[in-house]
């Protein structure tokens, strides 16, 4: 029946007179148009292209941008089925293209732009496609106007690639991707708001880096699913033709994807470094993480600058970008393992809850080494990895917080013990201060007693000096009286009476009363002086002790002579004899 219908339309269609073949969709969801016709543009209008039979289309020809900047493509597609079928139509190269088709409802030809800068149709993530409907039992003619001015310098031939994909399969895939994206973004956003609240309240740096990683996850998921095309449009920076003649480009969505990966790795790396305190406990791995992160960010930044400002190198650099990601994640996993083996608090929880998301991230990077991002857009692995990562780090933060709380509890116990010790020390300090005050009072009392003794000693010293002075003056007076008597004796006074007076004076000069008084005052100042001297020098006579005492209080020879009623020369000789006797006794 299908063949009969198709034959009917071949006969009835005006296109039957043309050499161009009619394309019939296959039973598969995706099929490529094999037959089309090409016409280089020479300022034609669409009406001319559609109705002027003199214009010569070339079947299955190629596009040559260096020869003509504008081409027209004509294709004929039949739908022998009695039912209408909906397709997404796309054509490569996808620059500034215009798609023309006959709208059965409006009964006229309509045009739509497609390719770079085109508007969104039905909120599709990919702006390079246009939804069309092939009515049942119809033969449809479509035209595409290629504007290849951006490729004029390329001396290559391009074979147009026209693709039809049934919307039934597309809608299922789109629905799955929308649900995955919305669920992932919702979960991440909830985690983000919760941790933002925690960070605002506590200014916890680990939470700050966690927020950065979550922001990177949100950006990455949005770009990975091509949703930036829906939100902001397709902004293309650079483009090139690959070996198969397909136009590839670096757009805003890819730039945001790299930014998201950079933020994710930045947050994860610094979070792990801070979480495990690697700067003090794992210095070598800390440097590996730090400089590995900076190397990746520098490499990725340079590539982004080249791809956005100069020329397209994304296809060549993507493998190295993913290798760097794998290396950095590998070092991060190894750091977590070493932290656990070193017994770092909560390192085991960090390793346990993040080993799965880290492994998934490694798997995603590994897949991207062998497949282009556009080829694995349906891959759910990144979404699962990021959700596990968000949940894992949340659990790790809880474990970290519990560890910190345990440390705080231990510190509080220690602080309480220290407080008790401080109170005891304070009480002991008060006791010591009381004892010191008591000792100070005793010292003051002792000082007062010493001052009293010193005053008494000074008084005795003054009395001793006064006594010595008195004895000396008395002896001087008696010596003067003795001399006067001797002079009277020379003048003829009676010898008997004068001799009696002189004898009394001489006797008075040698009395021991003054010496006894001197000893009493002397020993008040110098206790046990005479007993110690007698014990040390047992052969000392009374006169020796007297001379030794006078010498001890530093009396001069003249003063000692007056005290003993002898001349100073005799004093010197007596001191000499006394020194010799002392030397002899000490030698023995």
pTM: 0.61
Q: What is the pLDDT of residue 16?
A: 40
Q: Are 160 and 241 contained in the same domain?
A: no
Measured CA to CA, the distance from residue 94 to residue 366 in angstroms comes to 29
Q: Are 270 and 372 contained in the same domain?
A: yes
**Structural domain count, the chain:** 3
Q: What is the pLDDT of residue 7?
A: 44
Quote the domain boundaries for residue 568.
528-588
Q: Within a domain: residue 262?
A: yes
Q: Within a domain: residue 82?
A: yes
Q: Are 148 and 243 contained in the same domain?
A: no
Q: Are 230 and 142 contained in the same domain?
A: no
Measured CA to CA, the distance from residue 253 to residue 257 in angstroms comes to 6
Q: What is the pLDDT of residue 384?
A: 75
Q: Are 148 and 225 contained in the same domain?
A: no
Last residue of a domain, one of 152, 170, 188: 170
Q: What is the pLDDT of residue 194?
A: 83
Last residue of a domain, one of 170, 185, 219: 170
Q: Are 260 and 313 contained in the same domain?
A: yes
Q: Within a domain: residue 267?
A: yes
Q: What is the pLDDT of residue 493?
A: 52
Q: Within a domain: residue 14?
A: yes
Q: Are 16 and 126 contained in the same domain?
A: yes
E strands along 218-312, which residues?
A: 236-241, 247-251
Q: Are 38 and 91 contained in the same domain?
A: yes
Would the CA dihedral through 562, 566, 567, 571 be positive or negative? negative
E strands along 228-319, which residues?
A: 236-241, 247-251
Q: Are 30 and 153 contained in the same domain?
A: yes
Q: Are 57 and 151 contained in the same domain?
A: yes
Q: How far apart are the first and last CA of the chain?
A: 157
Q: Are 229 and 139 contained in the same domain?
A: no
- β-strand pairing of 37-40 with 58-59: antiparallel
Q: What is the pLDDT of residue 15?
A: 42
Which CATH number characterizes residue 533's domain? Answer: 1.10.10
Q: What is the pLDDT of residue 14?
A: 45
Q: What is the pLDDT of residue 415?
A: 80
Last residue of a domain, one of 379, 402, 428: 379
Q: Are 30 and 160 contained in the same domain?
A: yes
Question: How many alpha carbons lie under 13 Å from residue 170 in its C-beta half-sphere?
Answer: 19
Measured CA to CA, the distance from residue 240 to residue 247 in angstroms comes to 6
The answer to whether the CB of 312 falls within 8 A of the CB of 247 is no
Tokens of 172: 């299922």
Question: How many alpha carbons lie under 13 Å from residue 319 in its C-beta half-sphere?
Answer: 5
Low-confidence stretches of the chain (pLDDT beneath 70): 1-19, 116-128, 233-234, 243-245, 370-380, 399-400, 403-404, 407, 457-473, 475-478, 489, 491-514, 517, 521, 588
User: Residue 51 to residues 1, 47, 311, 402, 523: CA-CA distances in angstroms?
Assistant: 32, 6, 41, 79, 154
The answer to whether the CB of 570 falls within 8 A of the CB of 561 is yes
Q: Within a domain: residue 437?
A: no
Q: Within a domain: residue 326?
A: yes
Q: What is the pLDDT of residue 74?
A: 93
Q: Give residue for tokens 């001797």.
A: 486
Q: What is the pLDDT of residue 506?
A: 58
Q: Within a domain: residue 366?
A: yes
Name residues whose C-beta falls within 8 Å of residue 81's C-beta, 6 or more positions apart in sequence. Answer: 2, 136, 137
Which CATH number characterizes residue 147's domain? Answer: 2.60.40
Q: Within a domain: residue 370?
A: yes
Measured CA to CA, the distance from residue 117 to residue 239 in angstroms comes to 14
């Amino acid at each position: 029946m299908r063949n009969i219908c198709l034959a009917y339309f071949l006969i009835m269609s005006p296109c039957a007179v043309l050499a161009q073949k009619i394309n019939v969709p296959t039973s598969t969801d995706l099929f490529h148009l094999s037959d089309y016709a090409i016409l280089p543009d020479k300022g034609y209008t669409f009406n001319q292209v559609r109705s002027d039979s003199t214009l010569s289309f070339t079947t299955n020809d190629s596009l040559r941008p260096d020869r003509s900047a504008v081409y027209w493509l004509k294709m004929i597609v039949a739908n022998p089925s009695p039912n209408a079928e909906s397709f997404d139509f796309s054509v490569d190269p996808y620059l500034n293209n215009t798609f023309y088709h006959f709208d059965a409802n409006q009964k006229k030809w309509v045009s739509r732009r497609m390719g770079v800068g085109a508007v969104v149709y039905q909120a599709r993530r990919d702006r390079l496609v246009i939804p069309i409907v092939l009515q049942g039992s119809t033969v449809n003619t479509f035209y595409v106007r290629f504007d290849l001015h951006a490729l004029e310098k390329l001396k290559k031939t391009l074979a147009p690639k026209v693709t039809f994909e049934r919307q039934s399969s597309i809608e299922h895939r789109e629905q799955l991707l929308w649900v995955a994206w919305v669920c992932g973004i919702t979960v991440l956003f909830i985690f983000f708001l919760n941790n933002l609240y925690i960070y605002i309240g506590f200014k916890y740096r680990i939470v700050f880096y966690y927020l950065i990683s979550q922001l990177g996850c949100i950006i990455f998921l949005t770009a990975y699913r091509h949703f930036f095309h829906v939100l902001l449009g397709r902004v293309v920076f650079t483009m090139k033709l690959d070996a198969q003649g397909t136009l590839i480009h670096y757009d805003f969505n890819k730039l945001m994807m790299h930014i998201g990966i950079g933020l994710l790795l930045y947050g994860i790396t610094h979070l792990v470094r801070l979480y495990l305190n690697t700067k003090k406990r794992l210095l070598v791995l800390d440097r590996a993480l730090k400089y590995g992160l900076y190397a990746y960010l520098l490499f990725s930044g340079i590539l982004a600058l080249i791809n956005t400002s100069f020329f397209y190198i994304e296809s060549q650099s993507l493998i190295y970008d993913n290798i760097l990601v794998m290396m950095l994640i590998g070092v991060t996993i190894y750091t977590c393992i070493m932290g656990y083996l070193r017994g770092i608090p909560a390192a085991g929880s960090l390793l346990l809850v993040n080993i799965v998301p880290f492994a998934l991230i490694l798997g995603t990077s590994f897949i991207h080494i062998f497949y282009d991002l556009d080829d694995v857009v349906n891959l759910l692995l990144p979404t699962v990895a990021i959700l596990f990562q968000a949940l894992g780090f949340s659990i790790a933060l809880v474990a970290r917080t519990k560890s910190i709380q345990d440390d705080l509890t231990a510190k509080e116990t220690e602080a309480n013990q220290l407080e008790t010790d401080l109170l005891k020390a304070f009480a002991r300090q008060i006791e010591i201060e009381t004892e010191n005050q008591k000792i100070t009072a005793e010292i003051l009392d002792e000082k007062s007693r010493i001052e009293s003794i010193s005053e008494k000693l000074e008084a005795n010293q003054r009395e001793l000096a006064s006594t010595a002075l008195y004895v000396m003056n008395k002896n001087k007076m008696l010596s003067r009286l003795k001399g006067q008597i001797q002079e009277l004796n020379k003048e003829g006074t009676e010898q008997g009476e004068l001799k009696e007076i002189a004898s009394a004076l001489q006797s008075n000069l040698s009395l021991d009363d003054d010496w006894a008084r001197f000893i009493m005052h002397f020993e008040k100042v110098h206790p046990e002086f005479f007993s110690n001297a007698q014990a040390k020098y047992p052969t000392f006579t009374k006169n020796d002790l007297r001379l030794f005492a006078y010498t001890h209080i530093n009396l001069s020879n003249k003063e000692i002579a007056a005290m003993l009623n002898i001349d100073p020369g005799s004093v010197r000789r007596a001191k000499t004899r006394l020194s010799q006797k002392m030397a002899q006794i000490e030698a023995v």
